[in-house]
Structure 1
């Protein structure tokens, strides 16, 4: 995968840095190391499907939809909720990301919607070049400065979860938003998933010589609801993104941030290679298995989420010492390739 020089600067956690790994940290919609997996479909279709997916239809009046919200530790995370069925699913998900709105009664303990109170989605139009143009009411501008980056991540990752959207353009009261008013984050180009989410830098990486990989670690709230948090980590520049992903999952999360590891540091990888169109195979040693000879369900799902997020492969085949007969701790059979779940983190009230 070729690296292009980034030609724009972006604000990350209040610090402006110039990154040279593929495109602006805000995302320009161009090809990058962390483009979302390619698929086709209508606006309301999720990008991916899975045999291990939550039920799409909650009841006759609602369906499963994903929203991005802030957890108690300040991470932006996806939640899968049963929301009212509508003609425009994408617009509905944004409406349920407004603080103080109808989503409040649906969020697990510790979670908070990021869009400012009173914000209305005036319109959401998707163009032929897969650009979602969102027009907000003026209340959208009344946010806390510390949440500026999180708001942009939540909106962008939420909308690019739909097959028909690759880029996002923001408007307020019909006028293009050129920059965010509080922290002055530039919006001169459309946002894309390549902006990353919950960004951090590996200790041995340099800003000008790095590759971003998005990893799924675990967190839980005060009611023991466990969920995945995506973290975009800048690592030493590499063309082998798949290997970097698994290596970083083994390395684990930043201990200071309170997330839980998904793979043991003793985990060994024997090989990672594409085996067919849209399929990548990861062969672990038997250290992946516990004393019961089962693999952690959390670990397997994290590997699948992380690899499909970063590589563009739609399915992952997991092996242990070359064998595909693997059972997880939740008694799921992983002997066949597994696709990315359409809905992540089904909420438990």
Structure 2
């Protein structure tokens, strides 16, 4: 009973946050670019950007696209896989999120698809109001109750990556789902990114007085594959979301959950300023290591987290006002940086 109560409370948290903050912070128009292959035609994916395309050993054309799966610690995590070139890219990504499906061979150790075995995506239709109606076969209902919210997060965050989709409505065999049958998560309103992902709440924060920020921390599997995990943290209400994002990255992950910090606790934020199309973050020189380089993981996390929570598409990073920054992987960060097109590539194209 307690478990069901938590699922319902967590599902409602995004709605509560919107009522208390007065705006949709996580659904503010920013999307991570999901790539449609060249020549993709008339469906939802036609407005997305061109993909990195390769030819696999069988001669089939594939594109690198993002799906949301579960890692060994239970976190819902984006992975970029090589999926076949199809007309309906969004529908294909869902099909590759079915347990036991064709994605299995591509998943790194410890990762598992969340859609139940045998689930079929009967249809995916996108309306003019950017709502996607997904019709699954009855096998969709054969999920484990402990994964109910994770399943909803994976579907919602996967589809809302597409620039033409802002909200998601679920059907099974043509009938609208009003609630999930096992944990009773309500589905009377369309699902949106505002529901958060891997939701957690700061101890000093109340649901009715909270602002959500989605932060990208690090995790690693048993084969040393390192990847970013998005965590939506409810913090005390604030109007300066961008500053709060960086401060929470410095604060780091909940130690009990086993994620790795991206910024050192001694990191100092000097200023954060919005501009036209970009946001500029100025750190003290404590961002740099003894080699005078900034951690590549830290810089990528800052970029992912800021572009996730704001409408800015580019991030300019400075250290003591200077833009001549080199990362530990020898990338030059002297110019504004766009959000990465592919998060957590599981393959190399």
Give the TM-score taking structure 2 as reference length: 0.90
Question: What CA distance in whole angstroms lies between the structure 1 residues aligned with 2:317 and 2:46?
Answer: 26
* Maintained 8 Å contact 1:37/1:312: yes
Matches within 5 A, 1:152-301: 152-276=152-276, 278-301=277-300
Per-residue CA deviation, residues 23-62 of structure 1 (Å, 9 max, x unaligned), is 59xxxxx94121254479983268789xxxxx71132610
| Aligned CA distance change for structure 1 residues 13 and 70 (closer, same or farther; 3 Å) | farther
| CA-atom RMSD in angstroms | 2.2
Q: Residue 312 of structure 2 corresponds to which residue in structure 1?
A: 313
CA distance in 1, matches of 2:120, 2:164: 22
Q: Using the TM superposition, give the Cα deviation of residue 130 of structure 1 relative to its aligned residue in structure 2, in angstroms.
A: 0.5
- Identify if the C-alpha distance between structure 1 residues 242 and 45 changes in structure 2 by more than 3 Å, giving closer, same or farther: farther
| Corresponding residue for residue 44 of structure 2 | 43
Aligned to 2:344: 345
Structure 2 residue aligned with 1:21: 17
**Deviation for aligned residue 1:74:** 0.1
Partner secondary structure for residue 132 of structure 1: strand
Distance 1:47 1:62 in 2: 16
CA distance in 2, matches of 1:47, 1:243: 30
Q: Equivalent residues in 2 for 1:58-73 (5 A)?
A: 58-59=54-55, 61-73=61-73
Give me the TM-score of the superposition, normalised by structure 1: 0.90
1:229-284 per-position Cα deviation (integer Å, ceiling 9, x unaligned): 000000000000001100000000000000000000000000001122x2100000
| Displacement of 1:348 | 4.5
Matches of 2:62 and 2:174, distance apart in 1? 30
Are residues 1:330 and 2:329 paired? Answer: yes
Matching residue of 1:83: 83
Kindly indicate which of the two structures has a greater share of residues assigned to helix. Answer: 2
The number of residues matched between the two structures is: 329
- Structure 1 regions of 5+ residues with no counterpart? 1-10, 25-29, 50-54
Q: Distance in 2 between matches of 1:188 and 1:237?
A: 27
Contact 1:215 1:232 in 2 (8 A): yes
Deviations 1:113-156 (A, max 9, x none): 00000000000001111011000000000100000000000000
Task: Sort the Cα spacing of 1:292 and 1:254 in 2 relative to 1 into closer, same or farther, 3 A.
Answer: same
Q: Using CA pairs under 8 Å that are at least 6 residues apart, name the structure with larger relative contact order, 1 or 2.
A: 1
Whether the 8 Å contact between 2:62 and 2:84 is mirrored in structure 1 is: yes
**Which position in structure 2 is the counterpart of 1:103?**
103
8 Å contact kept, 2:30–2:310 = no
**Partner Cα distance (1:79, 1:211) in 2:** 27
Deviation at 1:14, TM superposition (A): 3.2
The answer on 1:34 being equivalent to 2:26 is: yes
Q: Which segments of structure 1 move beyond 6 Å, counting only runs of 4 or more? A: 39-42, 45-49
The answer (yes or no) to whether the contact 1:99–1:116 under 8 Å persists in 2 is: yes
State the secondary structure of the residue aligned to 2:110. coil
Whole-angstrom CA distance in 2 between matches of 1:63 and 1:23: 39
CA distance in 2, matches of 1:119, 1:169: 17
> Are 2:246 and 2:302, in contact at CA under 8 Å, matched by a contact in 1?
yes
